[in-house]
């Protein structure tokens, strides 16, 4: 196998995140070993070891969330499982978020407030990982909240019973004051975790495994495998969770709703960003590097078993291809809305993606059955292969009008992170 080529400069991820520890110690986080070493040196406490191992460290990046912070914090305080710490990392808020956080810190010793000077949730979450004392890690967003007062109890119990590395719950969406059930993980959670169908549904068509929230992580697993957040403006959680998957975690699934996701029009997910393509492609190139390294390690272990070697090469590369496919759809919608329903804007965006070598490879691979042939969701198979064939034959205007139709008829809402329900 040839060594992976360096991505274009605009796609390279800056992996060194400047961090603060407890507002006192600064360091550069280059990898998980350094993260672990800093934790060992600086994160010691006098608390009972067993209590510390059973503690849930809840990490919350906070940015201009004053309207939602009290509800989120109260949802943690009311938990029946009381062995927790709440780490509120203010990420350069310009409203009263920091003051609200400090007011709760004064009321409850389990709440700690820190400030992160680097922009973006990745730096804030890494800051939280540094400061966390607990053996379990949970991530919340500042504008969301836990579904009821037994969430932590349920997640910890399942973590112990199943000896899991990651516990995954279902979630609901809060839109305009009403709660709606999102697509359940039931459709894929009983599949073989090493199957193409599990990967596609879990991270893309259903998407439950992509989100960093609504889960409980065993901190030892994260430290052992050196998993931290990359310095990205958004979608850092998808990359984080794919890296977790590549380390072969033991998953456990909870059917009950554990998390309430609030649709906030001001959030990163709903904000137009002109550099979105660069961000998605940076993730794709990062995955290419990781998967190439993983392939090489596995092939070396097989010595000269050509048949098995052929099976291993690019086994997990569907992650790259599906990510780019969905990125085109996501960015196309944002371009369409931002530019007053312009089909021309969508066409330009599609052409820009197709100009990248890795994107070209993506659509060549997806029009074949190597990956899509293993998927059970027939409609997705048809859509992916049809779209990819159109990209390979440069039918950009036809694709642009197709995307316009999906958006105008609001079909795209069923193709969002809740997945296409068949």
pLDDT in tens, 375-389: 999 989 999 999 999
Query: How far, in Å, CA of 126 to CA of 116, rounded?
Result: 10
Give Cβ neighbours of residue 408 (< 8 Å, ≥ 6 apart): 341
Last residue of a domain, one of 270, 299, 320: 270
pLDDT in tens, 106-121: 999 999 999 988 778 9
pLDDT tier for residue 414 given thresholds of 50, 70 and 90: low
pLDDT tier for residue 265 given thresholds of 50, 70 and 90: low
pLDDT in tens, 348-372: 999 999 999 999 999 999 999 899 9
pLDDT in tens, 173-186: 998 888 888 888 99
Contacts of range 267-275, beta carbons closer than 8 Å, 24 or more positions apart: 267/143, 268/121, 268/233, 268/234, 269/234, 272/334, 272/337, 272/338, 273/233, 273/234, 273/334, 275/233
Q: Are 44 and 169 contained in the same domain?
A: yes
Q: Are 259 and 333 contained in the same domain?
A: no
Mean pLDDT to the nearest integer, 131-142 = 97
- More confident position, 36 or 248: 248
DSSP, res 213: B
Q: Are 360 and 411 contained in the same domain?
A: yes
Q: Are 308 and 200 contained in the same domain?
A: no
pLDDT in tens, 314-356: 899 999 999 999 999 889 989 998 999 999 999 999 999 999 9
Q: Are 293 and 369 contained in the same domain?
A: yes
- CATH code where residue 159 lies: 3.90.550.10
**Segments forming the whole domain that contains residue 180:** 18-270
- The pLDDT score that the predictor gives to residue 412 is 66
Q: Are 292 and 215 contained in the same domain?
A: no
224, part of any domain = yes
277, part of any domain = no
Q: Are 235 and 292 contained in the same domain?
A: no
3-state secondary structure of 178: strand
74, part of any domain = yes
- The pLDDT score that the predictor gives to residue 32 is 40
CA dihedral 376, 281, 330, 347 (to 10 degrees): -110
Q: Are 151 and 50 contained in the same domain?
A: yes
pLDDT tier for residue 233 given thresholds of 50, 70 and 90: confident
4, part of any domain = no
Is the pLDDT score of 39 beyond 50? Answer: no
Signed CA dihedral, 90, 95, 98, 103: sign only: negative
Token reading at 337: 């809305």
Q: Half-sphere exposure (CA, 13 Å, Cβ side) for 321?
A: 25
Last residue of a domain, one of 236, 270, 304: 270
Query: How far, in Å, CA of 176 to CA of 161, rounded?
Result: 37
Tokens 């993260």 found at? 35
1, part of any domain = no
Is the CB of residue 138 less than 8 Å from the CB of residue 56? yes
Token reading at 395: 């039918």
Q: Are 118 and 192 contained in the same domain?
A: yes
Residue 106, Cα to own-chain centre: how many angstroms? 32
Per-residue CA distances from 344 to 157, 279, 350, 351, 407 (Å):
53, 22, 10, 11, 15
Q: Are 208 and 240 contained in the same domain?
A: yes
Q: Return the minimum-mean-pLDDT range out of 86-90, 291-295, 366-370.
A: 291-295
Is the CB of residue 165 less than 8 Å from the CB of residue 251? yes
Query: How far, in Å, CA of 140 to CA of 19, rounded?
Result: 19
3-state secondary structure of 194: coil
Give Cβ neighbours of residue 420 (< 8 Å, ≥ 6 apart): 205, 377, 379, 380, 414
| Torsion angles phi and psi, residue 35, rounded to 5 | -60, -45
3-state secondary structure of 256: strand
345, part of any domain = yes
Q: Are 89 and 224 contained in the same domain?
A: yes
Token reading at 397: 């205007």
Q: Are 303 and 199 contained in the same domain?
A: no
9, part of any domain = no
Last residue of a domain, one of 206, 237, 270: 270
- The pLDDT score that the predictor gives to residue 376 is 93
Nearest 5°: CA angle at 181, between 180 and 186?
Answer: 170
| Torsion angles phi and psi, residue 380, rounded to 5 | -65, -40
- The pLDDT score that the predictor gives to residue 306 is 60
Number of domains the chain contains: 2
Query: How far, in Å, CA of 376 to CA of 88, rounded?
Result: 41
pLDDT in tens, 6-16: 666 656 554 43
Nearest by Cα to 223 from 161, 148, 134: 134
Nearest by Cα to 89 from 110, 120, 67: 120
What is the percent of the chain where pLDDT is above 70? 81
10, part of any domain = no
pLDDT tier for residue 284 given thresholds of 50, 70 and 90: very high
């Amino acid at each position: 196998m040839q060594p992976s080529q360096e991505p274009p400069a605009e796609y390279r991820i800056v992996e060194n995140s400047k961090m603060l520890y407890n507002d006192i110690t600064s360091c550069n986080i280059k990898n998980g070993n350094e993260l672990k070493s800093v934790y060992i040196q600086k994160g010691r406490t006098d608390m009972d070891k067993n209590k510390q191992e059973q503690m849930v460290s809840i990490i919350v990046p906070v940015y201009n969330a004053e309207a939602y912070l009290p509800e989120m914090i109260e949802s943690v305080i009311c938990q029946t499982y009381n062995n927790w710490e709440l780490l509120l990392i203010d990420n350069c808020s310009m409203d009263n978020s920091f003051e609200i956080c400090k007011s709760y810190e004064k009321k409850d010793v389990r709440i700690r407030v820190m400030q992160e000077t680097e922009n973006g949730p990745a730096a804030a979450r890494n800051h939280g990982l540094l400061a966390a004392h607990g053996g379990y890690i949970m991530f919340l967003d500042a504008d969301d909240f836990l579904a009821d007062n037994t969430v932590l109890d349920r997640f910890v119990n399942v973590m112990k019973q199943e000896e899991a590395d990651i516990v995954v719950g279902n979630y609901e969406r809060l839109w305009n004051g009403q709660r709606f059930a999102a697509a359940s993980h039931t459709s894929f959670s009983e599949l073989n975790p090493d199957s193409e169908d599990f990967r596609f549904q879990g991270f893309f068509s259903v998407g439950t495994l992509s989100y960093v929230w609504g889960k409980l992580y065993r901190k030892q697993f994260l430290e052992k495998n050196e998993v931290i957040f990359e310095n990205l403006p958004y979608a850092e959680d998808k990359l984080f969770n794919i890296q977790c998957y590549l380390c072969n975690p033991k998953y456990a699934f909870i059917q009950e709703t554990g998390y309430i996701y609030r649709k906030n029009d001001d959030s990163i997910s709903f904000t137009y960003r002109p550099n979105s393509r660069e961000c998605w492609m940076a993730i794709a190139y990062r995955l290419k590097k990781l998967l190439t390294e993983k392939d090489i390690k596995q092939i070396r272990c097989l010595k000269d078993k050509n048949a098995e070697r052929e099976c291993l090469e690019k086994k997990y590369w569907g992650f790259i291809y599906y990510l780019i496919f969905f990125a085109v759809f996501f960015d196309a919608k944002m371009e369409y809305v931002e530019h007053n329903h312009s089909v021309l804007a969508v066409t330009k965006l599609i052409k820009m993606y197709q100009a990248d070598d890795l994107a070209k490879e993506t659509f060549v691979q997806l029009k074949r059955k190597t990956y899509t042939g293993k998927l059970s969701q027939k409609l997705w198979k048809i859509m992916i292969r049809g779209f990819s064939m159109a990209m390979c034959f440069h039918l950009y205007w036809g694709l642009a009008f197709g995307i316009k139709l999906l958006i105008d008829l609001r079909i795209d809402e069923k193709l969002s992170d809740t997945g296409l329900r068949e």
